Structure 1
Amino acid sequence: MQRDGNSEAYDGAGFVPLGVNPGGTCRLVCFHYAGGSAQTFFPWTKLLPEDYALLAAELPGRGRRRDAPFVPSIRSAAQQLAEAWGPYGDLPAIFYGHSLGALLAYETARALKSRGQTLPELLVVSSRAAPGSPTSTHTLPALSDGDLRRYLESLEGTPRAVLDSKPLMKRAIPMLRADLQLIYDYRHEPGPALDIPIHVIGAIDDPFAPLECLLEWRSVAPAGFRLQMQGKGHFSPMRTPNAVMQAVEDHGLAPVREPIRAAS
């Protein structure tokens, strides 16, 4: 897989091509967690099967959109991403979102449906309570600097060098605060159901997304629901694309032709 290939240029509108495969037959479209960016998924360019081109959504206020103001709502972000989707609808797509990204992926698929655009073949979500879950914000922190830093530390997904760096935390905290505010403000609005299957990935030992809130995704998955549990904490689904690729295979959408290497 080529990285940042010239055959798909970033247009600034919300999707960043990370891995370009001219012979690819499917796109894996990833939606980042709170405080993340499109570059969160860059290590996956080395790990995906050759059939896949890798595309990542990027919210304003970070990465290649760092000069844009933070988005005011998940629904607004989803509408922006749906508007930017046009050039990427030429291949079948799998949407994958982790934590905040799960809600972004879900609402972007709903926005595509409302616009009459082609939907992804499968929605894979991980480590996030279902839309409309009464427990969706119960494990989120207060939004003070100290609370956010302690939250990052408890997730065990941020390197100690970052947590201990005042300049890095000065940049990270406002972005994390804006992203968590999106979840606090999010309200699931009734509408036409997505007619695509939803595959949920959770971690057995994840206190931020317990089993009961993952099961609630069944209520928005009339076209099919599967739940896959694994261990090793809140960020375990992010460490390699293995679980996502297994979900694709489980739904009979595409075979995993080559073993996926473990992340180093």
Structure 2
Amino acid sequence: MKIGIIGIGNIGGTLARKLASAGHEVRVANSKGADAVQPFAEEIGATAADTNGAIAGADLVIISIPLPAIEKLSKDHFSDLPASVPVVDTSNYYPGLRDPQITDLDAGEVESVWVSKQLGRSVIKAFNNILAHSLAELGQPEGTPGRLAVAVAGDNDAAKQLVMRIVSEVGFDPVDSGPLSESWRQQPSTPGYCCDYDAPTMRKALDAAVKGEASKKRDQLMGKFATLGANPTHDDVVAMNRSLNPLQ
């Protein structure tokens, strides 16, 4: 499969590495152009490209950049990409920490619905509710007991199914979290966000989410993390996330 990945940070870079290793034709890009990503591309066996080059002719596009960078992407980048090609959004909104305030999101608009409007096409929300360490290190073959899960939301069933196959291929059980309008259930500080749950528990966590509650908890999160010290372990982070929304 030809896969274009825009953004090679913790999530995008890990997905690029895993998918190239699996034999896919991966093209990587970021805002600085092909030369800037050339060393990483050579390291993982991918092709360096600019944004247009990563998207053109792709069977799947993964966008793994912050929301302000998404806002700067031109809709023209996607004008020639068939509507059947899934565009995956891995982003999360962290106002005041990493992101500037975005009025529509502060007013309650679902993050990936907002992303769809910026890109001028529907997206699939995935790989946003898993920690970078978990994505890189904790994947398991299909059928492994306790295999960790990743939520996938979207409006195009065929596109969603393709993305769910990719989720499984990189080592995780995909859990269908519904249409894009319901992807708020996997946004930061919801019960299913970055808690290292298996599929049955992820399903329970998504169902337990209460609209409007997560943003209040998200804004308290950095203060809670400060109590963990300068170098919290992965287990510390998971335990903190779970403590925000204990499941019954």
TM-score range, shorter chain: 0.3 to 0.5
Using the size of structure 1 for normalisation, the TM-score is 0.33
Higher helix share: 2
**Which protein, 1 or 2, shows the higher relative CO under an 8 Å CA cutoff with sep ≥ 6?**
1
